[in-house]
């Protein structure tokens, strides 16, 4: 019997040139999937730390470190993803420099507890530096081996390196300067691609990018499932089964499933293909999608603990720890896709109604309790899925073209 899927053995070195933007059957490589797994560790750390802060009744105190650390995680992943979409050679040097970046992610993940507990970002900065060294070396290689994209590649390499000097220098500044220096450096980091591509566009693949973002969404959702499971495990160990615990855990699973469904209802690949100029808007805006999903996981973990009376936070705070990120996710999903496609699949009015209901449900807590609020949020998300599917079925019966999912 012949082997229809032979093992791919990488060449020692392949000249790095821009890949075709219309390459057929372009999907995520095994190396990209392995690279994503290192981010599972980092996201688990940052979500877990936010949950611990919320359990202690200090969710707002943990929000700043969460958003800053998650920026480093998201931005490093995004930079590699778009570079790989344009220049992935999958040869030995490419694999080794990717491994360097993976090592940086693990160092960053190890520094997450210190960032939350002591406002110490040293390990995170070192991990980020390691990732940037690997990425800069790949851009330099692209500049050397791909003359047509040399100026753009050199701009990327120089811009990333220069901003990284700022991140390292930030460690020597007073702690009181932390927030505003972070904002300045984050803006500079995000400005590098905008500046670099003014001299020429990289050849990223729209369907590949849409798939990569979809896979990262699944990773963050998976961490939310894991965070909720950790909460259930702790609650069971301390107090055993209870109706409240079962209700919150079941509602959390339904909620995460509904959010997964909603994300993949909206088309992205075709929109990126026909409106490449709006890729920055779509790609950058996913920070809110990913961060919201990670925060939902933390909120569900705390909700389970609170349901078992093992969290110091009030019911209202825990309810909003779930409701607010769900609302952010729903809004971001609409805002990001509206400029990308001729017509969004999830209707704007239905999205706004769902957001309003999600944010109002915690006000009903005195009547329905924590379990009732989390269940209500799950029902709202599920109802939005059902309403969208009904709209699609109606459009199909009417002979209208239904946009494909991402």
Burial class of residue 256 (count of CB atoms within 10 Å of its CB; 0-12, 13-18, 19+) = buried
Least Cα distance to 213 among 28, 20, 26 occurs for 28
- Find the length of the chain: 406
Contact 203, 21 (CB under 8 A): yes
**Model-level pTM?**
0.90
The answer for residues whose C-beta is within 8 angstroms of residue 222's C-beta and 6 or more apart is 40
Domain boundaries defined on the chain: 30-196, 206-397
| Contact predicate 112/124, CB 8 Å | yes
pLDDT tens track, the chain, 406 positions: 444 444 455 568 888 888 888 888 888 999 999 999 999 989 999 998 998 888 887 778 888 899 999 999 999 999 999 999 999 998 999 999 999 999 999 999 999 999 888 888 999 999 999 999 999 999 999 999 999 999 999 999 999 999 999 999 999 988 888 889 999 999 999 999 999 999 989 999 999 999 999 999 999 998 888 877 776 676 666 665 667 788 888 899 999 999 999 999 988 888 898 888 899 999 999 999 999 999 999 999 888 877 655 556 678 888 999 999 999 999 999 999 999 888 888 999 999 999 999 999 999 989 998 889 999 999 999 999 999 999 888 887 876 554 444 4
Q: How far apart are the C-alpha atoms of 142 and 165, rounded to whole Å?
A: 22
């Amino acid at each position: 019997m012949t082997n229809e899927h032979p093992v791919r053995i990488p060449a020692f070195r392949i000249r790095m040139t821009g890949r075709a933007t219309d390459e057929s059957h372009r999907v995520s490589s095994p190396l990209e999937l392995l690279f994503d797994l290192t981010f599972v560790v980092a996201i688990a750390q940052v979500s877990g730390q936010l949950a611990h802060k919320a359990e202690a009744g200090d969710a707002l105190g943990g929000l700043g470190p969460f958003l800053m650390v998650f920026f480093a995680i998201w931005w490093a992943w995004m930079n590699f993803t778009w570079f790989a979409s344009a220049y992935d050679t999958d040869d030995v040097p490419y694999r080794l420099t990717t491994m360097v970046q993976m090592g940086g992610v693990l160092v960053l993940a190890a520094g997450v507890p210190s960032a939350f507990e002591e406002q110490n970002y040293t390990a995170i900065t070192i991990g980020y530096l390691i990732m940037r060294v690997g990425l800069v070396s790949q851009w330099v290689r692209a500049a050397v081996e791909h003359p047509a994209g040399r100026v753009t590649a050199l701009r990327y390499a120089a811009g990333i390196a220069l901003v990284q000097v700022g991140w390292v220098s930030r460690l020597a500044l007073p702690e009181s300067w932390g927030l505003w220096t972070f904002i300045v450096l984050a803006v500079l980091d995000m400005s590098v691609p905008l500046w670099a591509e003014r001299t020429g566009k990289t050849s990223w693949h729209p369907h590949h990018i849409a798939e990569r973002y979809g896979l990262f969404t699944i990773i963050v959702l998976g961490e939310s499932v894991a965070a909720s499971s950790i909460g259930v495990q702790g609650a069971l160990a301390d107090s055993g089964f209870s109706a409240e615990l079962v209700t919150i855990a079941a509602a959390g699973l339904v909620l995460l499933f509904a959010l997964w469904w909603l994300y993949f209802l909206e088309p992205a690949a075709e929109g990126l293909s026909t409106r490449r100029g709006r890729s920055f808007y779509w790609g950058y805006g996913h920070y809110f999608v990913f961060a919201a999903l990670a925060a939902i996981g933390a909120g569900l973990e705390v909700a389970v603990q609170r349901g078992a009376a093992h969290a110091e936070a009030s019911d209202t705070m825990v309810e909003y720890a779930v409701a607010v990120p769900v609302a952010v996710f729903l809004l971001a999903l609409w805002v990001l896709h509206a400029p990308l496609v001729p017509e969004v699949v999830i209707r704007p009015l239905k999205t706004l109604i769902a957001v309003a209901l999600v944010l109002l449900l915690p006000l009903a807590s005195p009547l329905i309790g924590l379990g009732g609020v989390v269940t209500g949020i799950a029902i709202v998300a599920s109802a939005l899925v059902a309403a969208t599917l009904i709209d699609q079925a109606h459009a199909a019966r009417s002979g209208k073209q239904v946009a494909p999912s991402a």
